[in-house]
Amino acid sequence: MSSIDRYSTPLAGRWNSSNDMAVLFSPKTRSTTWRYLWLWLAKAEKQLGVDISDEAIAQMEASVEVNEEDLKVAAEEEKRRRHDVMAHVHAYGLRAPAAAGIIHYGATSCYCTDNADLIFLRKGFDILIPKLATLIDRLSKFAVEQAATPTLGYTHGQAAQLTTVGKRTTLWIQDLLWDLRNFIRARDDLGFRGVKGTTGTQASFLAIFQGDHDKVEKLDELVTEMAGFKYAYPVTSQTYSRKIDIDVVQALAGFGATAENIGTQIRLLASKKEMEEPFEKDQIGSSAMAYKRNPMRSERICSLGRMLGNKANDALATFRTQWLERSLDDSAIRRIMIPEAFLTADVLLSILNNVASGLVIYPAILNKHIKEELPFMATENIIMAMVAKGASRQDTHEAIRVHSHAAGAVVKMEGGDNDLVERVKKDSFFEPVWAELEELLKPETFVGRAPEQTRKFVEKEVAEALKPLRESMKGVVEVQLTV
């Protein structure tokens, strides 16, 4: 049966997750990592006096990389034994017969599975962090370019005071900076399960070393160092605490929420024809309505962001339902939850980076919408200018109120344009400020410190956050979106 006849995750297929992330959670990487863990354990045990031959270590080193035949052998053995770890112990032993008797010596299955998962979690963040930093960098450049471009702000879905396109973008960036902080913290907080034994008491290793507690502790330290971790969790049950998964998955879920929020805002702005995601020359927006330019990438961002956000519930539920030193009801869900969380985050970053590199704004539409609302917003400026010319504030307020309501009726009842300014120009009461009206209605005078806030935010906050990541960002490979 060919691959087209069986379900495969669209994360690695249709939506083209990065090769690095897809390889990280592949069966080959998983089983190869187990072999490295067995090799490190054997080396450390030998160093501490366990009788393991040089030939055994040499054969383990020579066959540590898993091939397709190894996976086939392990799959057949697992059908017979119904135990994946022991199936791979068997397959490794066939490749390294001199070590067959000491592979997994003193260990429990979670020595392989849990330590490997912790390695994958750390490497997963290593893949995501430079991509998230790249997204922040791209959006920051867009924000600076549009720092002074006026646009209507919206509160409660209604037109509000003006802001700028760049300032609005900094709000997205600030959320992403918090996600970046959470990714880095979650990665750097990860420890190693280490060599803890069946229920976390290290009893089997204490027996191997004939009651020598110092050697048992040293064994834990040596394997942890070989795995590249700074420390191992001081106490565990058979597994590392599933609360660690909460910490990791919530960081990813938080990013999923940010992604969905950004995608939603782009879609809202696209519906107003103010902003668009990249739309390619031959792209089709609708099979029926040929004129349409649907924001399909932003819609996909929202969909995948929602799915990623919901992964946090899986991690929470898994942790709180664990039984004593361990139960196996965590296994199946984690095999799906952890890879899919990282793959989803990876796909989201590819799409977001694509969108951020080609965001389009339409100044004419922005100005059109501003002109529709600005006369109402300028009424306070007109009142203040009139008072400065000697008019009564109360009389001016009443005159502008009457004209505003009349102009509002034209817009709402007749579908006409906002003619408030024309009404003011025809009312001799306002003659003292007629010459100033054009200046009083300039959009850039209504954006406050938005341009300055934008530039300072990028120059200070963004620059400081990205400085230690610049080198890793150079290695980010652009993933081509196929659909």
Confidence band of 39 (pLDDT split at 50, 70, 90)? very high
- Is residue 379 predicted with pLDDT exceeding 90? no
pLDDT tens string 305-364: 999 999 999 999 999 999 998 898 889 999 999 999 999 999 999 999 999 999 999 999
* pLDDT (mean) for 452-477: 94
Instruction: Say if CB 285 and CB 293 are below 8 A apart.
Output: yes
Fold of domain 8-107+194-235? Fumarase C; Chain B, domain 1 (1.10.275)
- Is residue 51 predicted with pLDDT exceeding 60? yes
Domain ranges of the chain: 8-107+194-235, 118-193+239-361+457-472, 379-440
Q: What is the pLDDT of residue 106?
A: 94
- Please state the length of the chain: 483
Structure tokens at 154: 């919206």
Q: What is the pLDDT of residue 113?
A: 95
Instruction: Say if CB 223 and CB 265 are below 8 A apart.
Output: no
Angstrom distance (rounded) from CA 131 to CA 259: 13
pLDDT tens string 404-413: 888 888 888 8
Across the strands, what pairs with 162? 152
Bigger pLDDT: 163 vs 15: 163
* pLDDT (mean) for 37-45: 97
Bigger pLDDT: 428 vs 243: 243
When mean pLDDT is compared over 43-57, 273-287, 378-392, 422-436, the highest value belongs to 43-57
Fold of domain 379-440? Ribonucleotide Reductase Protein R1; domain 1 (1.10.40)
Across the strands, what pairs with 93? none
Q: How many Cα atoms within 13 Å fall on the side-chain side of residue 177?
A: 19
Q: How many Cα atoms within 13 Å fall on the side-chain side of residue 243?
A: 5
Residue among 53, 271, 286, 392 flagged as catalytic: 286
- Is residue 424 predicted with pLDDT exceeding 90? no
Pairing of strands 150-155, 158-164: antiparallel
* pLDDT (mean) for 258-270: 96
Confidence band of 384 (pLDDT split at 50, 70, 90)? confident
83 is catalytic: no
- Is residue 282 predicted with pLDDT exceeding 60? no
Task: Flag the least confident range among 53-67, 111-125, 373-387.
Answer: 373-387
- Is residue 27 predicted with pLDDT exceeding 60? yes
In angstroms, how far is CA 279 from the centroid of its own chain? 23
Domain 118-193+239-361+457-472 has CATH 1.20.200.10: yes
Burial grade of 230 (CB within 10 A; 0-12, 13-18, 19 or more): exposed
* pLDDT (mean) for 21-32: 94
Confidence band of 422 (pLDDT split at 50, 70, 90)? confident
287 is catalytic: no
> Can you state the angle between helices 84-95 and 109-145, rounded to 10 degrees?
100
Angstrom distance (rounded) from CA 267 to CA 476: 27
Q: What percentage of the chain has pLDDT greater than the value 70?
A: 95
> Can you state the angle between helices 331-356 and 109-145, rounded to 10 degrees?
20
Q: What is the pLDDT of residue 405?
A: 87
Structure tokens at 260: 């969905």
| Short-list 109, 75, 70, CA closest to 91 | 70
Considering the entire predicted model, what is its pTM?
Answer: 0.90
pLDDT tens string 223-239: 999 999 999 999 999 99
Instruction: Say if CB 294 and CB 283 are below 8 A apart.
Output: no
Q: What percentage of the chain has pLDDT greater than the value 90?
A: 72
Residue 152 phi, psi (nearest 5): -65, 135
Angstrom distance (rounded) from CA 185 to CA 29: 25
Confidence band of 285 (pLDDT split at 50, 70, 90)? low
Q: What is the pLDDT of residue 288?
A: 53
- Dihedral of CA atoms 418, 424, 426, 432 in degrees, nearest 10, equals -160
- Is residue 283 predicted with pLDDT exceeding 60? no
Angstrom distance (rounded) from CA 96 to CA 70: 12
- Is residue 281 predicted with pLDDT exceeding 60? no
pLDDT tens string 292-318: 577 889 999 999 999 999 999 999 999
Q: How far is CA 3 from CA 6, 7, 8, 13, 67, in A?
A: 6, 8, 8, 11, 20
Q: Classify the C-alpha dihedral 158-163-169-174 as positive or negative.
A: negative
Based on its alpha-carbon atoms, the radius of gyration of the chain, rounded to whole angstroms, reads: 31
Across the strands, what pairs with 232? 192
Structure tokens at 90: 């068997």
- Is residue 291 predicted with pLDDT exceeding 70? no
pLDDT tens string 177-209: 999 999 999 999 999 999 999 999 999 999 999
pLDDT tens string 425-440: 888 898 888 888 888 8
pLDDT tens string 93-141: 999 999 999 999 999 999 999 999 999 999 999 999 999 999 999 999 9
pLDDT mean across residues, the chain = 91
* pLDDT (mean) for 143-153: 96
